[in-house]
Amino acid sequence: MKALVLERVGELSLRDIDLPQAMGPDDVRIRLHTVGVCGSDVHYYTHGHIGDFVVNEPMVLGHEAAGTVTEVGTNVRHLKAGDRVCMEPGIPDPLSRASRLGLYNVDPAVRFWATPPVHGVLCPETVHPAGFTYKLPDNVSFAEGAMVEPFAVGMQAATRARITPGDTAVVTGCGTIGIMVALAALAGGCSRVLISDLSETKLKLAETYDGITGINLRERNLAEAVDEATEGWGADIVFECSGAAAAVRDLFKVVRPGGTVVVVGLPPGPVPVDLAAACFRECRIETVFRYANVFDRALALIAAGKVDLKPLVSGTYVFDQSIAAFERAAEGRPEDVKLQIILDGEGN
């Protein structure tokens, strides 16, 4: 079938490619409607690898997806043909030790869409386990359904933070994931979130949400801004979402004594960490890799109107314009948060 294929670093094509489509009794077949352009997709396009995951052969991109069920396996009871759905893109080994511990996101055997050597879903249809496929409520659009995946990262971060209602949080990095984390932190009980970045455009977008205050690092020092906001005490929780070495280095200047640091962003290489400063404050340090057991909760918050992700869609492209969508994403325009590709013009 026709798909968006990453041929090699910097080269994309829309062409036919053989993709596995065999149905099992516990699977569903899905006609794809909307697929988001993720930062990891773009990084594979521009760099060819993320850590140990290296693109050594052509790979279909895309893992933030929503669509319509067209066929169900014989064992599937909770879904039927015609259901609008979103899909959790990581499929673990259910018998692995990690899965039995509830940590299936770090299962070494997990197969995650658009992570080498696994193909993604920028193509007309896919087959997926029904257990990782979630029905969209009538009030949730395909566009929102395709953003459940990045919002689930924010949910995982908020869960790892163990938020106490009324906490003050700081988020470093106002990209897609940074904003998702800020919204999840507010939904999880934080009274306010301070979010920092170099982009005034992205900060202004984040500030359209009640409870979020932007800190422009071109104008203010983060530690000083947090000190002012917390009367010198520091933030209860600091979420690092930028992956920038400078942000990681300064994390323990902004967290309060006994506070929590949650590392969400993935630095491109080793970064310096001031462990002595962490010890002096006796901080708790948590890390995040994708998500586990939060996808349905992320969808529930969107459906309940507790989180509005619609303002984060910066541009929409049809399938035949997929290469242009990725070229724009690679530019890193300051006004862009989430670009999406529409593969099926039917429905909302």
CATH number, position 329: 3.90.180.10
In a domain? residue 292: no
pLDDT score of 347: 56
Lookup: tokens for 154: 């924010």
Structure confidence at residue 154 as a pLDDT band (50, 70, 90): very high
Where in the chain does DSSP place strands (E)? 2-8, 11-16, 27-37, 49-50, 53-54, 59-60, 64-72, 84-87, 90-91, 111-112, 125-129, 133-135, 168-172, 192-197, 212-216, 235-240, 255-263, 284-287, 313-318, 338-342
Q: What is the pLDDT of residues 50-64, one digit of tens each?
A: 888 899 999 999 999
In a domain? residue 296: no
Residue 346 has pLDDT above 90, yes or no: no
Residues 9 and 143 in one domain: yes
Domain that holds residue 101: 2-147+309-342
Which of helix, strand or coil describes residue 337?
coil
Structure confidence at residue 266 as a pLDDT band (50, 70, 90): confident
In a domain? residue 293: no
Q: What is the pLDDT of residues 192-231, one digit of tens each?
A: 999 999 999 999 999 999 999 999 999 999 999 999 999 9
Distance, C-alpha 146 to centroid of its chain: 10
**Number of domains the chain is built from:** 2
Crossing angle of helices 295-303 and 148-161, rounded to 10°? 110
Whether the ω angle into residue 117 lies within 30 degrees of 0, i.e. cis, is yes
Q: What is the mean pLDDT of residues 251-256?
A: 96
CA nearest to 203, candidates 187, 190, 191, 219: 219
Cα 250 to Cα 246, 255, 259: the distances in Å are: 6, 10, 14
In a domain? residue 165: yes
CA nearest to 185, candidates 254, 264, 106, 251: 264
CATH number of the domain enclosing 272? 3.40.50.720
